[in-house]
């Protein structure tokens, strides 16, 4: 993921407070009777949209008044049944506007779903470069603004297995990669006013009504892994659980835990990194009535 002060303890503390405030007084804390089978089914993975299966986009959108909150920085809200707003609350806390909208396109069929998403992040308020990313081998800096447009397609192979394809392009005004001592490239690499091709192909499979496994290949710019840095390709794997879907209390019933792992490669920087699918992505997904 990008940095932009993401490791700030102040932001993490603000997040914890914000989660409590958001949850208080709405359906996330609501208790449904276990005898109400419709409420139990509604909170299983089979019947809820997944915006980004293991970090790659699907064509799903949230239902109207549905909320999504990830503790690592992203949130979403279903404005209508066809339009979802997705935002980076960590960047917003850092006074950097960042987010995108995803609109479900007609026609809607049992097999195919289509959506269009438009993303934007602005660093115009900064006079100089902003450090967006740091690894053991290089640092990445940005200024100006970045935007992408993607067309997403989801194909339902059967009741448990789906395929996702996303294609589009990113435009970035300025990006600079600076090598560290142990980097495999020796000179700064600067990209100005450039376009990149973005592609993602993935699958998600429901093994039980509360366990989903996802895997994908991405090239270019997508959500989650080194976002806002298009000079890469990656393979991602995620195992998502709804461990407490049968509980009465909404806080636990709506909790989702995804064990996420990846391999990422920056060819022009001769840099690669991998982690096994053990990184916990904790989120909540719930609908306000």
Asked which of 109-118, 139-148, 221-230 is least confident by mean pLDDT, the reply is: 221-230
23 phi, psi to nearest 5 deg? -75, -35
pLDDT computed for residue 38 by the predictor: 41
Q: Which two tokens stand for residue 268?
A: 């022009």
Domain 9-287 superfamily per CATH: monomeric porin ompg (2.40.160.40)
pLDDT digit string (tens) for 186-215?
889 999 998 999 999 999 999 888 899 999
Q: What's the CA gap between 53 and 240, in Å, rounded?
A: 9
> Residue 8 class from Cβ within 10 Å (0-12 exposed, 13-18 middle, 19+ buried)?
middle
Q: What's the CA gap between 71 and 7, in Å, rounded?
A: 12
Q: Does residue 144 contact residue 124 with C-beta atoms inside 8 Å?
A: yes
pTM comes to: 0.84
Domain ranges (residues) in the chain: 9-287
Percent of the chain's residues with pLDDT above 90: 43
pLDDT band per the 50, 70, 90 thresholds, residue 129: confident
Cα–Cα nearest to 62, from 25, 87, 37? 87
pLDDT digit string (tens) for 130-149?
888 888 899 988 888 889 99
Return the number of other C-beta atoms located less than 10 Å from residue 116's C-beta: 15
Return the number of other C-beta atoms located less than 10 Å from residue 135's C-beta: 17
């Amino acid at each position: 993921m990008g940095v932009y002060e993401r490791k700030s303890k102040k932001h993490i503390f603000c997040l914890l407070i914000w989660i409590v405030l958001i949850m208080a007084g709405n359906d996330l804390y609501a208790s449904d009777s276990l005898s109400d089978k419709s409420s139990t089914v509604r909170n299983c993975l089979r019947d809820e949209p997944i915006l980004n299966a293991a970090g790659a986009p699907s064509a799903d959108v949230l239902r109207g008044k549905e909320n999504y909150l990830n503790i690592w920085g992203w949130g979403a809200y279903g404005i209508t049944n066809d339009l979802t707003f997705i935002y980076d609350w960590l960047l917003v806390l850092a006074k950097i506007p960042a987010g995108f909208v995803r609109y479900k396109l007609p026609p809607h069929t049992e097999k195919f779903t289509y959506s269009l998403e438009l993303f934007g992040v602005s660093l115009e308020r900064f006079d100089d470069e902003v450090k967006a990313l740091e690894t053991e081998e290089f640092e990445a800096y940005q200024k100006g603004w970045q935007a992408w447009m993607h067309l997403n397609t989801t194909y339902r192979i059967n009741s448990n297995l789906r395929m996702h394809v996303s294609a589009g392009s990113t435009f970035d005004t300025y990006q600079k990669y600076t090598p560290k001592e142990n980097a495999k490239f020796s000179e700064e690499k600067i990209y100005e006013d450039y376009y990149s091709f973005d592609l993602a192909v993935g699958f998600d499979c429901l093994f039980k009504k509360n366990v989903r496994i996802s895997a994908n290949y991405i090239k270019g710019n997508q959500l989650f892994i080194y976002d806002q840095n298009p000079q890469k390709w990656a393979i991602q794997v995620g195992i998502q659980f709804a461990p407490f879907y049968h509980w009465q209390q909404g806080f636990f019933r709506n909790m989702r835990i995804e064990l996420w792992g990846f391999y990422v490669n920056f060819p022009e920087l001769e840099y690669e990194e991998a982690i096994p699918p053990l990184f916990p992505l904790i989120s909540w997904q719930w609908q306000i009535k």
